[in-house]
Amino acid sequence: MISTRFRSLLLCGIAITLTVGLVAGCSAKKDPEAEKAAGATSSLGPSGSDGASAAPSTSVAAEPAVLSVPATGSTAVSPVKPIKVSVTGGTLTAVKLTTPTGALVKGGLSADKASWLSSEVLGYGKTYKLTASATNADGTPTAKSSSFTTVAPREFTMPYIQTAAGGAVPAGTTFGVGQVIRIHFDESVPNRKAAQAALSVKTVPAQVGAFNWLSDTDVYWRTKVYLKPGTKVTINARVYGKDLGGGLYGQADAATWFKVGDSHVSIADDNTKLIKVYDNGKLVKTMPTSMGRDASIPGDNGSQIDLRTNSGPHVVVDGETNINMNSASFGLSKGANAYKTIVPVGVRISYDGEYVHWADWSVWAQGNTDTSHGCLNVSPDNSWWFYHFSVPGDIVDVRNTGRPLQLWNSGYWTASWASWVAGTAK
């Protein structure tokens, strides 16, 4: 049996122990280990919140996407330079460029969707509308719109790609090794340099060539030496959207190509009165001829007409049949020297009426005497053979007549390379 005094002491000890457990944190003397343990096991902060203290937030809102589009109200915009839309701080979601009639202009996004470019040319003097939208990293949308007007030319000019003689150049046509190309503009070109920069001629295999302006409307192109057989020649006139001077703009682009056939070069020597025909350097035919007689006669207006054949490399214009030959075309309509006849066949080699043609009336003179008014007379059989052999662009090189062939008269190969290059736009 526990005594009353011992029981009192025991109860008193229990009470002290409980009191320490409840109020130790408030005693004047702190127990560091107890505080450390309490901090580790307690789920309540000093203000009763969950956790000892809340960490500050580091999340920052993404910057809005910034769209760049042509400035609204822009004028004189190039119709050939692609319209560009770009974005920073985001990706493009939609771009729409429309014509004045509401039709969509083609274009495409870059792989990273950071830019868009139009892919078709625009019209002259037209107002276009553009809308674009994008989102930033948070998905916040941005949109922008603008309108602009393309340049309105003062006047237009159309380029025509032709042979030097003015004939068409259908794609894939075969021409001779001496073919010279002309680009004819239907308006005078104020800025030849700008126009020439829009022109290109490519030869495969590559050969040296150059342009020569013979007038404000005509620029010619030839190689340094005759073209190589088998060459492919591609001509482009990319003048649309280009100011060729004083507000004159290209109406439309033009392009074509041709191939070069075998090398047909004929040497007509007035000393021998023979035409030697070479096919790829090999002599394949010798034709006696009667050239223009060495005389000048009075014409209709009293001036003297030189009947000699022109000397120099002629570029074949074309073959013809049933040719209406009339001396009145060069100022001789009457008198014993005048003539008017239909010639069955011939090959034209210049612009003032020189032909290698049928002449059954002068067979006796062919090979020994000059009797013609400037043409190269050959026999009927030889004229038909030469007609079937020749193609435009072949060379007939006339020599030793004493009368030089002029540049304008198909004599493009009479010019030295230095003088030809001097005619290019600087």
pLDDT band at 17 (very low <50, low <70, confident <90, very high): very low
Examine the domain organization and report whether 402 and 302 are in the same domain.
yes
Single out the residue in 261, 286, 302 at which a domain terminates. Answer: 261
Count of CB atoms situated within 10 Å of the CB of 349: 31
pLDDT at 199: 98
Of all residues in the chain, what percent are helix, strand and coil, respectively (each to 5)?
A: 15, 40, 45
Examine the domain organization and report whether 161 and 125 are in the same domain.
no
Does residue 123 lie in a domain region?
yes
User: pLDDT tens across 102-145, in order?
Assistant: 999 999 999 999 999 999 999 999 999 999 999 998 999 999 99
Q: Which of 8-12, 38-42, 56-60 has the lowest mean pLDDT?
A: 8-12
User: pLDDT tens across 190-239, in order?
Assistant: 999 999 999 999 999 999 999 999 999 999 999 999 999 999 999 999 99
Q: Considering the chain, what percentage of its residues have pLDDT values greater than 90?
A: 76
Tell me 104's DSSP state.
B
Residue 388 annotated to the active site? no
Examine the domain organization and report whether 219 and 306 are in the same domain.
no
Examine the domain organization and report whether 346 and 371 are in the same domain.
yes
Does residue 299 lie in a domain region?
yes
pLDDT at 60: 59
pLDDT at 351: 95
Examine the domain organization and report whether 80 and 175 are in the same domain.
no
Domain CATH code at residue 189: 2.60.40.3710
Domain CATH code at residue 117: 2.60.40.3780
Whether the per-residue pLDDT at 30 is higher than 90: the answer is no
pLDDT at 56: 53
pLDDT at 342: 95
Angle in degrees, CA 339, 343, 347, rounded to 5: 115
Does residue 40 lie in a domain region?
no
Whether the per-residue pLDDT at 35 is higher than 90: the answer is no
Of 117, 150, 161, 167, nearest in space to 249 by CA: 150
User: pLDDT tens across 162-186, in order?
Assistant: 999 999 999 999 999 999 999 999 9
pLDDT at 297: 85
Single out the residue in 234, 261, 288 at which a domain terminates. Answer: 261
- Number of domains composing the chain: 3
Examine the domain organization and report whether 246 and 277 are in the same domain.
no
User: pLDDT tens across 52-88, in order?
Assistant: 445 555 555 677 788 888 889 999 999 999 999 999 9
pLDDT at 28: 39
Residue 264 annotated to the active site? no
Catalytic residue among 264, 314, 373, 375: 375
pLDDT at 404: 97
pLDDT band at 290 (very low <50, low <70, confident <90, very high): very high
Range 292-314 burial, b when 16+ CB lie within 10 A, else e:
bbeeebebeeeeebebbbbbbbb
Examine the domain organization and report whether 135 and 222 are in the same domain.
no
Q: How far apart are CA 291 and CA 287, in angstroms?
A: 12
Identify the residue with better confidence: 294 or 98.
98
pLDDT at 361: 96
Q: Across all residues in the chain, what is the average pLDDT?
A: 87
pLDDT at 26: 35
Examine the domain organization and report whether 272 and 311 are in the same domain.
yes
Examine the domain organization and report whether 99 and 168 are in the same domain.
no
Single out the residue in 192, 226, 261 at which a domain terminates. Answer: 261
Does residue 110 lie in a domain region?
yes
Does residue 397 lie in a domain region?
yes
Whether the per-residue pLDDT at 47 is higher than 50: the answer is no
Q: Is-cis flag, bond preceding 404, omega within 30?
A: no
Identify the residue with better confidence: 110 or 296.
110
Does residue 33 lie in a domain region?
no
pLDDT at 381: 98
Examine the domain organization and report whether 255 and 268 are in the same domain.
no
User: pLDDT tens across 328-369, in order?
Assistant: 888 888 877 888 899 999 999 999 999 999 999 999 999 999
Examine the domain organization and report whether 293 and 344 are in the same domain.
yes
Tokens representing residue 100 in the block:
């004045």
Count of CB atoms situated within 10 Å of the CB of 271: 8
pLDDT band at 36 (very low <50, low <70, confident <90, very high): very low
pLDDT at 121: 96
Q: How far apart are CA 253 and CA 255, in angstroms?
A: 7
Whether the per-residue pLDDT at 278 is higher than 80: the answer is yes
Whether the per-residue pLDDT at 37 is higher than 70: the answer is no
Does residue 139 lie in a domain region?
yes
- Collapsing DSSP to helix, strand or coil, 279 comes out as strand
pLDDT at 338: 86
Examine the domain organization and report whether 76 and 190 are in the same domain.
no
**Boundaries of domain holding 297:** 264-410
pLDDT band at 300 (very low <50, low <70, confident <90, very high): confident
Catalytic residue among 264, 314, 357, 373: 357
pLDDT at 16: 26
